Amino acid sequence: MTKTSPLPQMQRLLDIMARLRDPELGCPWDKEQDFKSIAPYTIEEAYEVVDAIERGDMRDLREELGDLLLQTVFHSQMAAEQGAFSFEDIAQAICDKLVRRHPHVFEGVQYETVEAQKAAWAAMKAEERAAKGKPEQPLSALDDIPNALPALLRAQKLHERATRAGFDWKDNDEVLAKLQEEIGELREALQGKDTAHQREELGDVLFCVAALAHKMDVVAEDALRSANNKFTRRFRHVEHLLKEQQQTFSDVSRETLEDYWIKAKQHD
């Protein structure tokens, strides 16, 4: 593990990015990018970091964190070219925010209770909003939840904010009852031919599932990611069983596939 100062390598990365964006000597692909075209890669790299963490692959995690760091450097280089801000401005802003929001760590401030600390945190957030020219209190409890978040993650955050404002179901059973109601409406919509209505009802089901995840104190994105991984393992096992018999999915009956799936579950 490298124990030397990270500053030389950080500067090297900044210099490489500047060269890649150089109008004359840079890379054609890098030069033509802008904030909007790079944004999807930024999101993708963040999820690849999460994937490496969940797999416990530290070597991969190191590489993916580097890819994510590159995204910050890429955005900062484009901003610097426009005279908007620099990488140093980014680093200074987050350092200042961390120190400002943790006076109990950096300034010796003491809070008697957790509630007092939360109140102080809220007051600091209000001051920051005022400094940005925004109202001290958001116009809505749902303000500042980015539209660009993955839909399931945003749905759960919407439920979290609504709960904090006092708009919530009583317990899991109440949410499950609402979920059953939404599923019933989806079934009814599927009997017709209005695809837009069917899509709307399916969205209501998914939104209600996010509410249930929040009520259960489960991160819906994590739960679905685990389910995706489980399905992938089992599907690949079925593929392996078919390959052993020199068969494909179209060669066997639904009953056989169900048997193979049961075996995959037992093997899991």
Residue range 87-120, pLDDT digits in tens: 999 999 999 999 998 998 999 889 888 888 888 8
Q: Does the structure show a pLDDT above 70 at 3?
A: no
- Within 10 angstroms of residue 70's Cβ, the number of other Cβ atoms is 16
- Enter the tokens of residue 208: 């209600």
User: Exposure of 88 by Cβ count < 10 A (0-12 exposed, 13-18 middle, 19+ buried)?
Assistant: exposed
Lowest-pLDDT range of 78-82, 137-141, 197-201, 212-216: 137-141
- Within 10 angstroms of residue 155's Cβ, the number of other Cβ atoms is 23
Lowest-pLDDT range of 40-54, 177-191, 195-209: 40-54
Helix (H, G, I), strand (E, B) or coil at 146: coil
Q: Does the structure show a pLDDT above 70 at 161?
A: yes
- Percentage of residues of the chain with pLDDT beyond 70: 97
Residue 185, C-beta contacts closer than 8 angstroms, at least 6 positions apart? 201, 204
Q: In the prediction, which pLDDT does 116 show? A: 87
Q: In the prediction, which pLDDT does 268 show? A: 82
Classify 134 in phi/psi space as left (phi over 0), alpha (psi -120 to 50) or beta.
beta
Please compute the mean of the pLDDT values over residues 21-43 and round it to a whole number: 95
Q: What is the mean pLDDT of the chain?
A: 91
Taking alpha carbons only, the member of 179, 212, 185 closest to residue 199 is 185
Identify the band that residue 166 occupies on the pLDDT scale cut at 50, 70 and 90: confident
| Predicted TM-score (pTM) above 0.85 | no
User: What 3 state SS string does 11-31 have?
Assistant: HHHHHHHHHHCCCCCCCHHHH
Q: How far apart are the first and last CA of the chain?
A: 35
